[in-house]
Amino acid sequence: MWAQVNPNSNGMFVGDCVVRALAIALDKSWDKAYIELCIYGFIEGDMPSANHVWGKLLEDHGFVCDPIKGGRVKDIASQLKHGTFILATGAHVVTVIDGDYYDAWDSGDEIPTYIWRRKQ
Span 8-28, average pLDDT? 91
Burial class from Cβ neighbours inside 10 Å (0-12, 13-18, 19+) for residue 33 reads: buried
Task: Write the pLDDT tens digit of every residue in 56-101.
Answer: 999 999 999 998 988 999 999 999 999 999 999 989 999 999 999 9
Task: Write the pLDDT tens digit of every residue in 31-49.
Answer: 999 999 999 999 999 999 9
pLDDT value at 25 more than 90: yes
What domains does the chain contain, in order, with CATH numbers? 2-6+16-118 (3.90.70)
